[in-house]
Amino acid sequence: MFDDDVLKVGSNEMELVDFRILKQEDDGTIYEGIYGVNVAKVREIIKIPKLTELPGVPEYIEGIFDLRGVVIPVVNLAKWMEINEPPADKLKPRVIIAEFSDILIGFIVHEAKRIRRISWNDIEPASFVAGMGSLDKSQITGVTRIENDEVLLILDLESVVQELGIYQPNMEADNNIIDQIEGTALILDDSVTARRLVNDALKRMGMRVVEAKDGKEGLEKLNELYEVYGDKLEKELRIIISDVEMPRMDGFHFAANVKEDERFKSIPIVFNSSISDHFSEIRGKEAGADAYLTKFDASVFYKEISKVIKSHVKTEE
């Protein structure tokens, strides 16, 4: 459905599916909420299929359906956001089939408008929310201005699904696979929850952790570390673990900057993202990453991080 080769690594742009959720006020006025989700997380957009209802589930879970042999749950975003929907004849409903962390989930929206290309420089963190109902800033990756000075909210479907209880990260891991590694790790993620998961895992490996909320802050942290360690930084900073989707500067652009800097280019980078499509993994490797992980399986995380660090140590020798 989408052209996965349009965006180039280091372009610091993302593509969004622009969709709308309508709310009818008590006086009959209809308010249009403008939202976006990263194209990389969207498998396809379809008309509402025939759904099989599930007993005993919340009202916002409309049911399930079979998509080419895969059973997919469907969530009505308006109902989850506790929005009073307009009459059906005012809507052009579609189901956005989203994929993240190797899970497919359908989201009913009132209209799917278009695909937008937006620079991460034009995306601000969600310091406020102009949303509706139960939506809060923890479910918003960022906000950006579009035409007519309207605001588009970039929705973090992963946090929505975690709150719904449909998906939870796998934190279990056998102690036997957890290597103890000395040194520092730099982690980049705009999600407080995601940073805490990675922070806890790395500390369990015996590492010190420096955190950043996005690529720009990540570069600032690297420069601060270089002021402390100088040319010995490569031996102290064992690994950089970065999310892909972040405001101001995304992970791919951050990695491209790191690999162009003689001071930092030898430090291994691992992407840790809920975007699980094959093309994002390819882009990650093009940006210079040593590995691309899908959030969050603790056993896989420990094994891959240890492998990357040990491989780098052998290269140094």
What confidence tens digit (pLDDT) does each residue in 215-259 have?
999 999 999 999 999 999 999 999 999 998 887 888 999 999 999
Partnered with residue 36 across adjacent β-strands are 18, 154
Tokens 């408008």 -> residue: 113
**Whether the predicted pLDDT of 128 surpasses 70:** no
With 0-12 / 13-18 / 19 or more C-beta atoms within 10 angstroms meaning exposed / middle / buried, residue 63 is middle
What is the C-alpha separation between 237 and 35, in angstroms, rounded? 38
Class of the domain covering 175-316:
alpha beta
Q: What is the CATH code for 13-164?
A: 2.40.50.180
272: which residues sit within 8 A by CB, 6+ positions away?
189, 194, 198, 241, 242, 243, 293, 295, 296, 301
Instruction: Please give the model's pTM, rounded to 2 decimal places.
Output: 0.73
Looking from the CA of 177 toward its CB, the CA atoms found within 13 Å total: 13
The whole-angstrom separation of Cα 142 and Cα 36 is 10
> Domain residues of the chain, as ranges?
13-164, 175-316
Tens digit of pLDDT for each residue in 95-112? 999 987 678 899 999 999
Question: Can you read off the two tokens belonging to residue 65?
Answer: 């359906």
